[in-house]
Amino acid sequence: MPANYAVIIKPVAIILVAVLIATGLYLNRPAPEQVEIKHRPLLVNAAKAVKEDIRVSVRAQGMITPEPKPP
């Protein structure tokens, strides 16, 4: 029976040691530096939309006919 305990205890001990090491590294990490963020104004050119009539010229070749609607 003592050999069976060793088979169970070894993996548990390895995991426990790994968790302790990870916890120690996490708790002893350096604090992050505080960096001040400088806000810059957005560089955007904007124009107000104005409603107006515009003639659009389209050059095409051929003839298009619409398909009849199904009843």
- Whether 5 maps to a domain, the answer reads yes
What CA–CA distance (Å, rounded) separates 27 from 60? 72
User: What is the tens place of the pLDDT at every residue in 21-58?
Assistant: 999 999 999 998 998 988 888 888 889 999 999 998 98
Domain that holds residue 19: 1-29
pLDDT score at 26: 96
Burial class (CB in 10 A: 0-12, 13-18, 19+), 34: exposed
Return the structure tokens found at 16. 């426990």
- Give this prediction's pTM: 0.45
pLDDT score at 62: 86
| 2: confidence class by pLDDT, cuts 50, 70, 90 | low
Instruction: Specify the number of domains making up the chain.
Output: 1
- Whether 9 maps to a domain, the answer reads yes
Quote the distance between the C-alpha of residue 64 and its chain's center: 46
- Whether 15 maps to a domain, the answer reads yes
